[in-house]
């Protein structure tokens, strides 16, 4: 198990592989972000996207899946997140893209109000198969300490 004390500021990781399918883009958009450029080929062709693109919120969900799979495989003592400081959708994500992630631990500190909990800030970058940066985030997370 990897605990808060095991984390070193500046540590970088590269992981994940998520294949974006048309069916999933349409399903997510239909349920959560039913804007025409996420659902209709003709409507999307009339926008700056040029074709159907994934919702930014869907991109967040795909990144979250890669993150959880990575944490599970690494055995992290994660306690969830109190939120994000920033999300940037920098380029469209299209059906047929394959996404991957890079992370960098920017800071960490012990919680003053919750004994046994450490707080971290991480830069997250999501790239497509052409190494084009499509999304960035600054995230906050809570992790169990060894004593916690």
Q: Distance between CA atoms of 122 and 71, rounded to whole angstroms? A: 14
Going across the sheet that includes 98-110, the strands are: 12-19, 98-110, 117-127, 133-144, 83-89
At 146, the pLDDT band (50, 70, 90 cuts) reads very high
For 74-117, the pLDDT digits (tens) are 778 899 999 999 999 999 999 999 999 999 999 999 999 999 99
Task: Note whether 9 and 106 are within 8 A (CB).
Answer: yes
Q: CATH number of 4-144: 3.90.1150.110, 3.40.50.300, 3.30.70.1520, 3.10.129.10? A: 3.10.129.10
Task: Parse the chain into domains and list their residue ranges.
Answer: 4-144
For 31, residues 6+ apart whose C-beta sits below 8 A from its C-beta are: none
Q: What is the pLDDT of residue 77?
A: 87
pTM > 0.75: yes
Positive or negative: CA dihedral 127, 25, 71, 87: positive
Task: Give CA 15 to chain center in angstroms.
Answer: 11
């Amino acid at each position: 198990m990897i605990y808060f004390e095991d984390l070193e500021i500046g540590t970088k990781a590269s992981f994940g592989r998520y294949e974006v399918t048309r069916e999933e883009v349409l399903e997510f958009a239909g349920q959560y972000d039913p804007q025409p450029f996420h659902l209709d080929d003709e409507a999307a062709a009339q926008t700056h996207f040029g074709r159907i693109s994934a919702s930014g919120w869907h991109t967040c969900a795909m990144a979250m899946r890669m993150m959880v799979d990575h944490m599970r495989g690494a055995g992290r003592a994660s306690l969830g997140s109190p939120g994000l400081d920033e999300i940037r959708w920098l380029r469209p994500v299209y059906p047929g893209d394959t996404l991957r992630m890079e992370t960098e631990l920017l800071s960490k500190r012990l919680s003053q109000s919750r004994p046994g909990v450490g707080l971290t800030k991480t830069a997250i970058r999501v790239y497509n198969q052409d190494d084009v940066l499509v999304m960035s985030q600054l995230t906050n997370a809570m992790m169990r300490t060894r004593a916690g």
